A and B are shown apart, each in its own frame.
Chain A
Amino acid sequence: MYRIRFHGRGGQGMKTASRILGTAFFLEGFEVQDAPRYGAERRGAPIFAYVRASKEAINERGIIKEPGLVIVADDTLVAMPAAGVLQGVTEDTVILIVSVIEAELWKDRLNFPGRVLTVIPPGEGQSHERAFTGGAIAGAAARLTGAVSKASLEEAIREELIPLGTKVVEENLEDALSVYEFMAEHEGCVAPGTAIAVEGFTPPNWVELPFEDARLSSPAIHAEATSEQIKTGLWRTVRPVIDYELCNRCSWLCSTFCPESAISVNEDGFPEIDYEHCKGCMICMTQCPPHAISGVLEREAKGGEDNET
């Protein structure tokens, strides 16, 4: 059974990738499960999706704990514990990272004995507007398993994406086929895992809670502003940077417009950005009257100490 896990950020097309790959496997005669998993997270937040495919009936359910292939569409997720990129990987797992950093370096950094591959995002260095499409990710997975033909991949993309219009279909096809070719030398490097026997199933570590009345059991929060502890700055791919030479201390428009309350005004009337919570929407950049705020790609941002923890 193939077990493939996709990690990305909300909006990057991981759900789409899982659907395309699932459909492609189905067209090849496999039994398939494909599903995204996301909870209360949004565009920019770490999410994952997964696909199981097998020639036999699939009795496994739920999230994939022992992936044969892990694809990471955004390399900033690797260092983020919440993203759980490395969860359950073994030396037989193949990890594919969309990154400009070389595979060998990733292998070292992760101290990972198995195979690490990378693919460079398209348009690198030109724009942060368009990331990899879901089609590209599905194309990579298809080739690495060696179990999906080009024709099935193409048909799956058309089938899944036609409601989104021909332009989306064409973009995805182009990306998918180019990555499918790019991965040719690694074709079939992902080996199918064996099905997990029922006997080997370990139940989850559920905590049994006794029934209490509402006064005790309702989830009441007795403190204010606790969401401060959630570092939504990790969602950010572009960082707004204020040029204080240009800032004219207007009536803190950037701070007023910032949906996240992540821009405060200091005693001297200058705005300060809280990078622990800024999600990088860049409204401040577009609304600053003297254009004192610019956008810097997060991985190129200097002094990124706020974001390292």
Chain B
Amino acid sequence: MSTRPMTTRPMNTVPHPVRDAATMLRRTLRHLARYPSMVIMTLAMPVVLLLLFVGIFGGALNTGLGGGTPGRGYVDYVVPGILLMTVGYGATMTALAVNRDSTEGIIARFRTMAISRASVLTGHVASALARTMASCALVVAVALALGLRPAADPLDWLAMVGVLALLALALNWLAVAVGLSARNAEGVGGFTVVVQVLPFVSSAFVTPDSMSGAVRWFANNEPFTPVIDTLRGLLLGTPVGSSAGLAFAWCAGAAVAGYLWARAVFRRDPRQ
């Protein structure tokens, strides 16, 4: 390389994917730190949901579950479902954040810079993982205070972290793709509905056996049910059965599909 003015600086012609993604992660974490209300919302919503289900609906729902397992309260049944909703809620925030980036023009700037192309997306997903895991930890802590009696050994806990992380990866890559595709914040609404309503039609709050016909079939076969059943098995020591394999397949498949979708949308020419 010559030192003539027209040549580009060699240090910037080689992409630094990890370094750039770390910079983008710092950026999104700084957004969170700057707006504590957003963090509180993210952390508080799942806890409110937990209190609602345990404190208000818990008694009635537990009766519906056939009095529950002897010696176990509704909190034991509902925590896996709340954890799943926590991950879904976090992914909704990601979709909104990515959408704000792409509608505000900052992504156009990143696209014309000699940086690793997908780093801005990777940064969003990485910060979403951190945020979601913190939320999940808080949910478990509150649940313990409410009387959750887990039967999990350290390995089970680790496996639960793994399941939640994989689920978060899947939902957040989908969220990134949705955020990039949507023309505005309202366009993200469909995704919000899917991740926040589908858990209700699953084994999250009541067992699908108590549901009627088509709804029961749907609840038994939708992707969230095996994930919840796996978490429940790990948490309470009940048999996991074929749920683990199904849960892994759904999450891994969605993560890969979400990543490929997000990459395809990002590579396409931006909208006018």
Q: Do A and B come from one complex?
A: no
B residues with a Cβ closer than 8 A to A are none
